[in-house]
Amino acid sequence: MRNAALSVALLALGILSSAACSAPTANTATPAAKAGSLADPKSSVAYQLDLVKAGDADKLKNCFTTRVRDSVTKEAVEKAKGQAAAYTLDDLYASAEMGEADGKKTAKVKMKNGRTLTTLIETNGQWLADTIWFK
């Protein structure tokens, strides 16, 4: 019994420590935001879209690579917030072209209209955007 409780506790700790973006509170969260998942490319874009729509620049910063993280500002997110309301996840994420760069997995996310939305890079098990896609 003690080993089972320890296993559950370690599993929970591993899940909690793997979340780079912390999920919003249950009162204001949409289903994708509740999950706060960066575990796969589509979940990552869904979560980022929810954060843009909510105007949460602080949490959104953690969903981007360090290369572009400082470009995620409250002003940029506020500007994008109104435009984001016109898009659904299906508009923004039609497919992903999987690849590799510098020894890391990448996913080039294509929009419904065929244009590239962003490239995600798997970093420590999380899919982080490497471009500011919501301008």
Q: Which residues pair with 50 in a beta bridge?
A: none
Higher pLDDT, 6 or 82: 82
**Structural domains in the chain?**
20-129 (3.10.450)
Query: Residue 122: helix, strand or coil by DSSP?
Result: strand
The predicted pLDDT at position 15 comes to: 31
pLDDT tens digit sequence for 7-42: 333 333 233 333 445 443 333 333 434 347 999 999
In this structure, the chain runs to a length of 135
The predicted pLDDT at position 39 comes to: 95
Mean pLDDT of the chain: 80
Which residue, chain included where needed, has tokens 């879209």?
49
The predicted pLDDT at position 22 comes to: 43
Name the DSSP letter for residue 54. H
Burial of 88 (0-12, 13-18, 19+ CB in 10 A): exposed
Of 25, 65, 21, 12, nearest in space to 43 by CA = 21
Query: Which band of pLDDT confidence, cut at 50, 70 and 90, is reported for residue 132?
Result: very high
